[in-house]
Amino acid sequence: MTIASHAPAHTGEDLIVSGIGVVTPWSDLPVTAVRAARPDVSEGWFDHRERLGRRGYKYLPSATQYFLAATKQAIADTGHPLESAAGAEGTEAAGGTRLAAEERRGAAVGTNSAAAALHDEMDLTVLSAGADALSPATAPYFSINLFGSRLATEHALKGFNLTLTSPRTAGLEALESGARSVRLGRASWLLAGATEEALPEAQAEACLSERGAVALVLESTEQVRARKGRGYGHCRVRSFFLAPRTAAGPGGADRVRVRIGAALASMCTGPVPEHHVIAVVDESPVATAVAAALGPAASLVRAGAGSLEPLLQVAGALAGLTSPVAVVTAAREGNLAVALLTPPEHTRRG
Name the 3-class secondary structure at 173.
helix
Phi-psi region of 295 (alpha: psi -120 to 50; beta: other; left: phi over 0): left
Please give the backbone phi and psi of residue 255, each rounded to the nearest 5 degrees, phi first.
Answer: -65, -40
Tell me the one-letter amino acid at 280. Answer: V
pLDDT tens, per residue, the chain with 350 residues: 545 443 333 334 589 999 999 999 999 999 999 987 788 888 889 999 999 998 889 999 999 999 999 999 999 999 987 765 444 455 566 555 566 888 899 999 999 999 998 999 999 999 999 999 999 988 998 899 888 888 888 888 999 999 999 999 999 999 999 999 999 999 999 999 999 999 998 888 899 999 999 999 999 999 898 888 999 999 999 999 999 999 989 999 999 999 999 999 999 989 999 999 999 999 999 999 999 999 999 999 999 999 999 999 999 999 999 999 999 999 999 999 999 999 997 433 34
Name the 3-class secondary structure at 148.
helix
pLDDT at res. 204: 84
Instruction: Identify which of 173, 160, 175, 176 has the alpha carbon closest to the alpha carbon of residue 100.
Output: 160
pLDDT at res. 331: 97
Q: Which CATH architecture has domain 234-342?
A: 3-Layer(aba) Sandwich (3.40)
> Taking a C-beta distance cutoff of 8 angstroms, is the pair 112, 196 a contact?
yes
What is the number of other CB atoms lying within 10 angstroms of the CB of residue 87?
10
What are the DSSP calls for 59-109, one per residue? TS-HHHHHHHHHHHHHHHHTTS------STT-EE-TTS-EEPPGGGEEEEE
Enumerate the domain spans of the chain. 17-226, 234-342
Cα 68 to the center of its chain, rounded Å: 13
User: What beta strand segments (E) does the chain contain?
Assistant: 15-23, 91-92, 98-99, 105-110, 160-164, 189-196, 212-220, 234-241, 276-281, 299-302, 325-330, 335-342
Q: What value does the CA radius of gyration of the chain take, rounded to a whole number of Å?
A: 20
Name the 3-class secondary structure at 20.
strand
Report d(CA 228, CA 52) in Å as an integer.
Answer: 28
pLDDT at res. 125: 94
Range 103-127 burial, b when 16+ CB lie within 10 A, else e: bbbbbbbbbbbbbbbbeeebeebee
Domains 17-226 and 234-342 share a fold: yes
- pTM tops 0.85: yes
Report d(CA 99, CA 35) in Å as an integer.
Answer: 34
Q: Which CATH architecture has domain 17-226?
A: 3-Layer(aba) Sandwich (3.40)
What are the DSSP calls for 186-215, one per residue? S-SEEEEEEEE-PPPTTSTTGGG---EEEE
pLDDT at res. 328: 98
> Taking a C-beta distance cutoff of 8 angstroms, is the pair 109, 194 a contact?
yes
pLDDT at res. 95: 54
Report d(CA 67, CA 115) in Å as an integer.
Answer: 14
Please give the backbone phi and psi of residue 141, each rounded to the nearest 5 degrees, phi first.
Answer: -75, 10
Report d(CA 195, CA 46) in Å as an integer.
Answer: 14
pLDDT at res. 347: 37
Instruction: Identify which of 257, 279, 271 has the alpha carbon closest to the alpha carbon of residue 339.
Output: 279
